[in-house]
Structure 1
Amino acid sequence: MSPSSETNTDAFSPWTPEQLAALPHDNAAPTLLSSIWALFGVASIFLALRIYCRFLKRRSLWWDDYILIGAWVCSLIECSLLTHVTTLGYGLHIWDFDMNNLQAIMVPIQAAGTLSITAAVWSKTSFGITLLRITDGWYKRATWACIISMNLFMFLSALFPWVHCIPISKAWDFSLQGGTCWDMRTIVYYDIFSSAWSALMDIVLAFMPWKFLWGLQMKTKEKIGVIAAMSLGVFAGATAIVKTVELRHMLSADFADGIPLWIWGNAETSASIVAASIPMLRVLVKEATSSRGYKSGGYYDRASGVTGNHSRFVTISSRPAPANSELEIHKLGDDRSDRSILGNNTNPKIPQTTNGIVQVTDIEVKFEGGDGQGK
């Protein structure tokens, strides 16, 4: 993503005027900025909807929400840093770049690279933590293995750009004499490995809940919908694969060759945030489909706008029981068919043989008079 720390200005002036005239002179900065901010905007919308759904159901944020918000913040700062370096000429080909700005862009670019890696791995970790709430046994152990290994490998990728030179400041201060730096191929090859591992973990985590969810007692159509929503991480895995392929351009001396890598890195993070948010957005769908109105004498659809004098309307909606509910769940005898797939029973008044949250039905009765106002 960034130029090698061994770069020097003398290495980029080997062209004759005739050769320079034949080289491309386009600027990739507009493409970079429009792409990363558009991807960030999509991720922001889905994250905002996820948080809205949490508050809609009167639930507090949990660790998976906070980690996902952290990934969003990292992505925001990364996009801002990239926007800054484009004002210094980043996006131009090396033969058009003002080499006086080279040292000024090094630290922001390396910081943006670290933030990009952090945002990607945190967005995947958020989904993994969500899975920990609905899995048990070896599924939970496998999920932990995915989370820990992915964070460890990606942490090293985020760290290496800062520690691969002795002294450390030689990585961005080209005025320093002496010192040594690792071969850039060592860093790039490791980054390819860690990125490929991250892509694999995306796919594993996407398919992890299949067996568990398929065993739930619910309609097949809705079960398929839940499984599809929980498996959208495969798209994040696909973008991670493309990013892995693009990592080879880190060895290029031309800045412009690294632009696609930034774009696909942001696509990976955005796809992960969207994939982690969509399962929560089913709350909005359930709110729209589980609320029904009845009119005395038959079914009444409130969406049609039909009203009548002194008519009775009954609104039926479903919601999870509160965490401190004292319902005697063990007396329901429904084989836990209405329990939520998220959360465990922590109420000492409820037998531990029953996990999850019971579905509660709210019934609201309204009367409308001739003026159409509720009475």
Structure 2
Amino acid sequence: MDSSTEANFPWTPEQLAVLPHDNAAPKLLSSIWALFAVATLFLTLRVYCRILKRRSLWWDDYILIAAWVCSLIECSLLTHMTTLGYGLHIWDFDWNNFQAIMVPTLASGTFSITAAVWSKTSFGITLLHITDGWYKKVTWFCIISMNVFMFLSALFPWVDCTPISSAWDMSVKGTCWDIKVTVYYDIFSSGYSALMDIVLAILPWKFLWGLQMKPKEKIGVIAAMSLGMFAGATAIVKTTQLPDMLSADFADGVPLWIWGNAETCASIVASSIPMLRVLVKEAASSRGYKSGGYFDRGTGVTGNHSRFVTISSRPAPTNSELELHKLGDDRSDRSILGNNPNLQVPQAKNGIVQVTDIVVKYDEENAQGK
């Protein structure tokens, strides 16, 4: 601790002897970059799956990528802050760096909040593609209200002082709001964001349960679409850390940064996993095929297999997206990725619908060598 720090925080040598002198920076950096790496892996697989199946991206993909970029900027700013001494206790912090750390701190908070709300918005937009009726209206309400409340949380630290520049420039004299106002509002907005995670995770349950699918497949899709619960759980934990913003010790804020980053990364992972189910299912299916035949894991019998195209004539649905989801089995997974060009719903009143099925032929006499 240098002399300038002693002038501002004049602890006696006896007091300093019993105070902790650990540095939380290594824990902060290892946590946020490890979480970011996991989120990057899942987002990369999601984009790969999108391009592989549709050869184009949707708005939800672009918004999720934007959230990832905001998270990257946040992690980079936090890393820069640790070079200025962030992570040290206030009694060990070099007060000469206080001015230099102010703007990166405010910017990190803004990017953290933006990354979190955009990652949740991406999942909401995904739901807009697979829901209809009141489900869609509720989804829109969740998206809009969440963005409004979180936007204010990102804005307040920049405008809570008069003149505004005094919020980050210590050389400018001004008056600021009571810090409790900002903290209490952040607790509200963060709690609301956690609630929206849970609502968006539960919202598609009834809709997905009505799909014509095998129960096991149906449960799998619902589970994949409900992983936002984990993001909601991290948001709740982050909310409990917000009162630490009232502490004068910098080091007390490290857990808040970690859980804020965890919230965003959990949202990115939760938004990506539903897209990856198709790859998992196809990988599992490909393992069932042997050269020249199909392996039935239930009976241990191999035999010839054929790929058939079923042609049927029926009235065209009023909602092509909804009909595509009701075709059944993993087509509901594929519809999350986008309309498969091989599964086009006709626009005419009556038309030919092509549905791809796998039909396994098994000749018992041939299998027994007769």
> Could you state the TM-score of these two structures normalised by the residue count of structure 2?
0.82
Matched, 1:195 2:190: yes
Matched, 1:73 2:66: no
SS at match of 2:245: helix
**Deviation, structure 1 residue 285:** 1.1
Alignment match, 1:337: 327
Partners of 1:283 and 1:182 in 2: CA distance: 51
- C-alpha deviations, 1:46-75, integer Å up to 9, x for none? 000101111221331000000000000000
Match for 2:162: what amino acid?
I
* 8 Å contact from structure 2 (residues 316, 349) kept in 1: no
Alignment match, 2:166: 170
Identity among equivalent pairs (%): 72
Query: Cα 1:295–1:26, aligned 2, differ >3 Å: closer, same or farther?
Result: closer
Alignment match, 2:99: 103
Report matched runs for 1:161-240 at 5 Å: 161-177=157-173, 179-240=174-235
**Deviation, structure 1 residue 337:** 3.1
Alignment match, 1:321: none
- C-alpha deviations, 1:28-49, integer Å up to 9, x for none? 0000000000000000000001
Query: Cα 1:147–1:352, aligned 2, differ >3 Å: closer, same or farther?
Result: farther
Structure 2: state its 5+ residue gaps: 297-302, 318-322, 360-370
SS at match of 2:131: coil
* 8 Å contact from structure 1 (residues 329, 358) kept in 2: no
* 8 Å contact from structure 2 (residues 32, 261) kept in 1: yes
The root-mean-square deviation of aligned C-alpha atoms, in Å, is 3.1
* 8 Å contact from structure 2 (residues 54, 339) kept in 1: no
**Deviation, structure 1 residue 174:** 0.8
Alignment match, 2:13: 17
Alignment match, 1:366: none
Structure 1 counterpart of 2:281, from 262, 282, 286? 286
- C-alpha deviations, 1:251-276, integer Å up to 9, x for none? 11000000000000000001000000
Match for 1:37: what amino acid?
W
> Could you state the TM-score of these two structures normalised by the residue count of structure 1?
0.81
**Deviation, structure 1 residue 162:** 0.5
Partners of 2:240 and 2:350 in 1: CA distance: 49
Partners of 1:66 and 1:181 in 2: CA distance: 37
SS at match of 2:27: helix
Partners of 2:256 and 2:350 in 1: CA distance: 50
* 8 Å contact from structure 2 (residues 64, 268) kept in 1: yes
Q: Give the helix-richer structure, 1 or 2.
A: 2
SS at match of 1:330: strand
Matched, 1:48 2:38: no
Matched, 1:143 2:127: no
Query: Cα 1:265–1:70, aligned 2, differ >3 Å: closer, same or farther?
Result: same
Structure 1: state its 5+ residue gaps: 1-7, 302-311, 319-326, 364-375
Query: Cα 1:51–1:161, aligned 2, differ >3 Å: closer, same or farther?
Result: same
* 8 Å contact from structure 2 (residues 36, 265) kept in 1: yes
Match for 2:78: what amino acid?
L
Match for 1:40: what amino acid?
F
- C-alpha deviations, 1:109-168, integer Å up to 9, x for none? 100000000000000000000001111111110000000000000000000011011111
**Deviation, structure 1 residue 293:** 3.3
* 8 Å contact from structure 1 (residues 12, 95) kept in 2: no
Instruction: Tell me the number of residue pairs that the alignment of Structure 1 and Structure 2 aligns.
Output: 334
* 8 Å contact from structure 1 (residues 294, 314) kept in 2: no
Matched, 1:93 2:83: no
Alignment match, 1:350: 347
SS at match of 1:218: coil
